[in-house]
Structure 1
Amino acid sequence: MTVKTRGIVLGQIPMRDQDKKLIILTQDMGLIEAIARKVNGARSSLSAAAEVLAYSDFCLYAGKSGYIVNTADLLENFYNLRMDLEKISLASYLCELTRFILPDRDNGGACLKLLLNSLWLLEHGKRSPALIKAVYELRLLSISGFAPDLSGCLGCGAEEELTFYPIDGSLFCEHCRGVMPPDRPQMKLPQPVFYAMRHICEAPDEKLFSFKLTPDSEKALGFVTEYFTLCQTGGKFKALDFYKTMLA
Structure 2
Amino acid sequence: MAQSANQISTRAVILKTTDFGDTDRYLTLLSPDLGLIEVLAKGVRSLKGKRRQPSDFLTLADFELFYYRGRYRLNQSRLVYAFLPLRLDLVRLACAAHLAELIGDLTTDTEQAAAVYELFLRFCYALEKNQQSPLLYVHAAEIRLMQLAGFGPDWQHCIYCQHLLAPSEGARFSFPQMGLLCASHAGGKASLLQRKLPQAGRERLQPGSYDGQSLTAADLRALRYFSEAPLPALFNFQADTAVKTDLDQFLPAYLSWNLDKQYHHLDMLDKLDLSSFNDSQ
TM-score with structure 2 setting the length: 0.82
Moved more, 121-130 or 153-162: 153-162
Matched, 1:28 2:40: no
Aligned residue among 72, 84, 93 for 2:89: 84
Please state if 1:182 is matched with 2:189: no
Partner of 1:6: 11
SS of the aligned residue for 1:95 comes to: helix
- The percent identity for this pair of structures is 26
Cα deviation digits, residues 15-41 of structure 1 (max 9, x gap): 225211111111111111000011111
- How has the CA–CA distance of structure 1 residues 109 and 245 changed in structure 2, closer, same or farther, with 3 Å as cutoff? farther
Correspondence 1:1-248 to 2 at 5 A: 1-45=6-50, 47-64=52-69, 66-154=71-159, 155=161, 156-159=163-166, 160-177=169-186, 178-183=188-193, 185-247=211-273
Equivalenced residue count is 248
Report the Cα offset of residue 182 of structure 1.
Answer: 2.4
Deviations 1:166-190 (A, max 9, x none): 3432111121232424235110010
- Structure 2: 5+ residue stretches without partners: 1-5, 195-210, 275-281
Letter in 1 for 2:164: G
- Give secondary structure in 1 for the equivalent of 2:192: coil
Q: Which runs of 5+ in 1 are unaligned?
A: none
2:54–2:61: 8 Å Cα contact kept in structure 1?
yes
Distance 2:269 2:40 in 1: 29
1:94: Cα distance to partner? 1.4
Q: What's the CA shift for 1:121?
A: 1.2
Task: Give the Cα–Cα distance (whole angstroms) in 2 for the partners of residues 99 and 145 of structure 1.
Answer: 15
Cα pair distance change 1:47/1:170, threshold 3 Å: farther
Give 1:180's aligned amino acid. A
Contact 1:133 1:222 in 2 (8 A): no
Query: For the Cα contact (< 8 Å) 1:8–1:24, is it kept in 2?
Result: yes
Measure the CA separation in 2 of the matches of 1:243 and 1:75: 30
* Structure 1 range deviating more: 152-161 or 33-42: 152-161
Contact 1:90–1:133 (Cα < 8 Å) also in 2: yes
Residues 58 and 87 of structure 2 are in contact (CA less than 8 Å); yes or no, is this contact kept in structure 1?
no
Query: How far, CA to CA, are the matches of 1:67 and 1:58 in structure 2?
Result: 11
The separation in 1 between residues aligned to 2:272 and 2:183, in whole angstroms, is 37
Give the secondary-structure state (helix, strand or coil) at the position aligned to 1:193.
helix
**Cα distance in 2, alignment partners of residues 136 and 46 from structure 1:** 35
* CA deviation map 1:176-222 (0-9, x unaligned): 23242423511001001101111111111122123222111122123
Contact 2:127 2:134 in 1 (8 A): yes
Higher mean C-alpha displacement, 143-152 vs 29-38 = 143-152
RMSD: 1.9
Residues 20, 39 of structure 1: 8 Å contact kept? yes
- Match of 1:182, as an amino acid? L
Alignment-mate amino acid for residue 39 of structure 2: A
Shift of 1:61: 0.4
1:85–1:48 Cα change, 3 Å: farther
Matched AA of 2:165: A
- The separation in 1 between residues aligned to 2:47 and 2:250, in whole angstroms, is 46
- How many angstroms apart in 1 are the aligned matches of 2:78 and 2:148? 28
